[in-house]
Amino acid sequence: MIKVGIIGGTGYTGIELLRLLHNHTKVEVIAISSRSEAGKRVDEIFPSLVGSCDLIFSLPDDIILNECDVIFFATPYGVAMKGVGAFVKKGIKVIDLGADFRLNDKDEYKKWYGLDHTQDELLLLAIYGLCEINREKIKNANLIANPGCYPTTVALGLKPLIDNKLIDLTNIIADCKSGVSGAGRGANKATLLCEVSESFKAYGVSGHRHYSEIKQELSLLAGENVNLTFVPHLVPMIRGMQATIYVDLLDSDVDVQSIFESAYKDEYFITVLGAGNTPDTRNVRGSNFCQIGVQKAPYGNKLIVMSVIDNLVKGASGQAIQNMNILFGLDENLGLKQIGLIP
């Protein structure tokens, strides 16, 4: 059995890790930490786990974490940067669900997160964990930077087009919507029920932290710089994320449907919908699947790509477990075969 530890176990991604790993036949969660809840039973804080989890929250420096084969950091940015190194030196694999190792450029990290990145060696060591793109590199990683939810949705929606050089890279528009759980579990007036219910708004229009990550990964895919417009929106639902991406085809006669079906035919977690069908966030709610639909605009060379995921699963904890499965040579879908919850 793979011994697993979770640092930062009281946020939505931490509890989602526990939920998903409970059904994983090859792992045992032996430790979960929380400074604020140390000494309390996990199922006291999360009653959904009563009868399924008897763990006690420990402190992040508890020695039991040194017995783990892999540790998930489900922590805010800045935390993993300080704590990952000690575990990596001991030969323990680390998967960081935060942002500390996603950006290759330290100046970009400081620009968007307001912190100096102090771990040059770890930054060079980290592998960006978008499974469908970096699978081979992930297999031998010691430190994995789990991607953000918006970057996952957008990159998966554009990969077949970029790989086949089908679009104008100077004019990519990603119009994205997320459920409120993407803002985290902390108390925040802007995410109160009365603030978000029956409302819908754009945010981060002048600059969102995921912009740099999306641009970095698309540029790496393309082998050249891309020009991206990215606007996120908050919608009044708990889970779910959709990226509606507008691009210009270089050849308006290309069979885009076949391109997508061929690109993802062997990817378990990517479902390309039939021609004319559009994805719905509820179809992937609670699952690690990404559904993609593509349609050409009635006139001209504009293509619309629609990509949906559950922001807490494929956009966070599920993809982290998928990374773990690859890392330890397991079937990628182990513990992740749940289908979407309807209604």
Distance CA 46, CA 305 (A): 37
Q: Give the H or E element holding residue 150.
A: helix 149-163
Q: Does residue 293 sit in helix, strand or coil?
A: strand
Tell me the sheet residues that pair with 145. 96, 128
Let me know the angle formed at the C-alpha of 42 by 36 and 43, rounded to the nearest 5 degrees: 135
Catalytically active residues are 149
Distance CA 307, CA 280 (A): 9
Let me know the angle formed at the C-alpha of 197 by 195 and 199, rounded to the nearest 5 degrees: 85
Residues in contact with 170: Cβ distance below 8 Å, sequence separation at least 6, in sequence order: 226, 227
Tokens describing residue 209: 């932290």
Q: How far from 95 is each of 25, 126, 281, CA to CA, in Å?
A: 19, 9, 26
Tokens describing residue 234: 């908050």
Distance CA 210, CA 178 (A): 13
Tokens describing residue 330: 């397991």
The pairing of beta strand 228-234 with beta strand 143-145: unpaired
Let me know the angle formed at the C-alpha of 280 by 222 and 245, rounded to the nearest 5 degrees: 30
Distance CA 112, CA 211 (A): 9
Burial 14-43 (b: 16+ CB within 10 A, else e): bbbbbbbbeebeebebbbbbbeebeeeebb
Distance CA 88, CA 319 (A): 20
User: How much is the CA Rg of the chain, to the nearest whole Å?
Assistant: 20
